[in-house]
Amino acid sequence: MREKEQKKILTDLLEVINKILKSGFKNRQHRLVDTVEQVQIQNYEIVEDENDRDLIYVHNILVTTRVFVIFSEDAKSSDNIILKNQKPIPFRYNKDIDNYEIEEETVFFFDATTF
């Protein structure tokens, strides 16, 4: 896999994670995320599909985030959330752009924060 493909995969993942957090995601105390301050991908694995060269999967994704959640009507609180993916995320090769594209509709993360 080329370096530009790996960078595109990480960029796509960060964009999707930000979108998920900003579109109604709730933390473990069921508080709605208001703003995202920081997102870092700590771990991930890329696996190429043996039967389809144009398909790869990214799994074992571990993400740390710093967000502000709505604490009450007029108050916000900061929170650190650890996210993990539920199932491998597929990326399909697009010949027009000569790179992989995320299949966004299959992405699901859950709050794996333990404390």
Q: DSSP of 59-76, one letter per residue?
A: EEEEEEEEEEEEEETTEE
Residue 27 near residue 33 (C-beta atoms within 8 A):
yes
pLDDT (tens digit, 0 to 9) for every residue of the chain, 115 residues total? 788 889 999 999 999 999 999 999 999 999 999 999 999 999 999 998 788 888 999 999 999 999 999 988 889 999 999 999 989 999 999 999 899 999 988 899 999 998 6
Query: Where in the sequence is the domain holding 12, given as residue range(s)?
Result: 3-111
- Number of structural domains in the chain: 1
Q: DSSP of 72-90, one letter per residue?
A: ETTEEEEEEEEEEESSPEE
* pTM, entire model: 0.86
pLDDT at 101: 92
Residues 34-67: pLDDT tens digits?
A: 999 999 999 999 998 788 888 999 999 999 999 9
pLDDT at 50: 80
